[in-house]
Amino acid sequence: MAVIVILLIASLSIASIFLLAFLWGVRTGQFEDDYAPSARMLFDDKPVSPIIKKKSK
C-alpha cells in the first residue's frame, strides 16, 4: 500500500498549508472579534447619494 505514502504527503502538505493559514489568522487577529464580522457582512456599501433614503425592506 505504498501509495498511501503519496496520499499522506499530499494530505499532510494540505494540512500544513492550512496550519500556516491558521497561524497567520491568529497573528493578524482574524479570530479576535467573533461578533462584528457576522454583522458587518450584512451592510450594503452602496455609495452615498441623496436618492437612497431608506433600504427597501
Partner 1 sequence: MQVEKFYYDNKIVKAFGYATVIFSIVGMLAGLYASIQIYLPQASMNMAATTFGRVRPLHTNAIIFAFVGNASFAGIYYSLQRLCKARLFSDRLSWIHFWGWQSIIVAAAITLLMGKTTGKEYAELEWPIDIAITLVWVVFGINMFGTIIKRREKHLYVAIWFYIATWVTVAMLHIVNSIEIPVSFMKSYSWYAGVQDALVQWWYGHNAVAFFLTTPVLGLMYYFLPKAANRPVYSYRLSIIHFWALIFIYIWAGPHHLLYTALPDWAQSLGVVFSIMLIAPSWGGMLNGLFTLRGAWDKVKEDPVLKFMVVAITCYGMATFEGPMLSLKSVNAIAHYTDWIIAHVHIGGLGWNGFMAFAILYYMVPKMWGTTLYSNKLATNHFWLGTIGIIVYAVPMYWAGFEQSLMWKSFTPEGQLKFQFLETVTSIKPLYILRSVGGALYLCGAFIMVYNLAKTIRQGVFIPNEAAEAAPLVKENTQKKEYWHRVIERKPVTMLVASLVVVALGGLIEMIPTFLIKENIPTIASVKPYRPLELQGRDIYIREGCYTCHSQMIRPFRDEVARYGEYSKAGEFVYDHPFQWGSKRTGPDLAREGGKYPDSWHYNHMYDPRSMSPGSIMPQYVWLLDNALDTASTPAKIRAMIRLGVPYPAGYDKNANADLIQQENVITESLKKDKIKTPPNAEIIALIAYMQRIGTDIKTESKK
Partner 2 sequence: MPLSATCNEVRCYHCGEPCLATVTRLEEKTFCCEGCKMVYSIINEYALCDYYNLNENPGVAQRIKVRKDKFAFLDDASIAAKLVSFRNDEQVHIKFYLPQIHCSSCLYLLENLHRLDRGVISAKVDFTHKEATIVIQAKTTSLRQLAELLARIGYEPYISLNDLNGKRPVYNKRMISQLGVAGFCFGNIMLLSFPEYLGIGVSEQGLKNIFHWISFALSVPVLLYAAIPFYESSWKSLRHRFLNIDAPIALAIIITFSRSAWEVLSGTGAGYFDSMSGIVFFMLAGRVLQDKTYQRLSFERDYTSYFPVAVSVLKKDKEIPTALPGIKVGDTVLIHNDELVPADGILSRGNAYIDYSFVTGESIPVLKETGELVYAGGKQTGGSIEIFVLKEVSQSYLTSLWEKDDTTKTGESKSSFVHLLSRYFTYIIFAIAAGTAFYWYNHDTHKLWPAVTAIFIIACPCALLLSNSFTNGNMLRILGRNHFFLRNAQTIEQIADTTNIVFDKTGTLTSSIEQEIIYEGNPLTAIQTKQVSSLAGCSNHPLSRALAKQFPSKKNMQVLAYKETPGEGIEGFVDNDLVKIGTCCFVCGKTDLRMETAVFISFENDLLGWFRFRNHYRNHIPSLLAELKKEYRLSVLSGDNASEKQTLQKLLGDDADILFNQKPENKLAYIKELQQKGAHVMMIGDGLNDAGALKQSNTGIAVCEQTNNFTPASDAIIEAAQLSRLGAFIRLCRANRKIVMASFGLSILYNLVGLFFAVQGNLSPLIAAILMPSSSLCIFLVTFGSSNLLAKRMHL
Please report whether residue 52 would count as binding partner 1 according to CB under 8 A: no
Report, in Å, the least distance between residue 45 CB and partner 2: 9
Q: What cell does 38 get?
A: 457576522
- Binding partner of residue 7 among partner 1, partner 2, none, CB cut-off 5 to 8 Å per kind: partner 1
For residue 32, what is its C-alpha cell? 479576535
CA angle 46, 49, 50 (to 5 degrees): 135
Which residues have CB under 8 Å from 24's CB, separation 6+?
30
Residues that bind partner 1 (CB under 8 A): 1-7, 9-11, 13-18, 20-22, 24-25, 27-28, 30-31, 33-42, 45-48
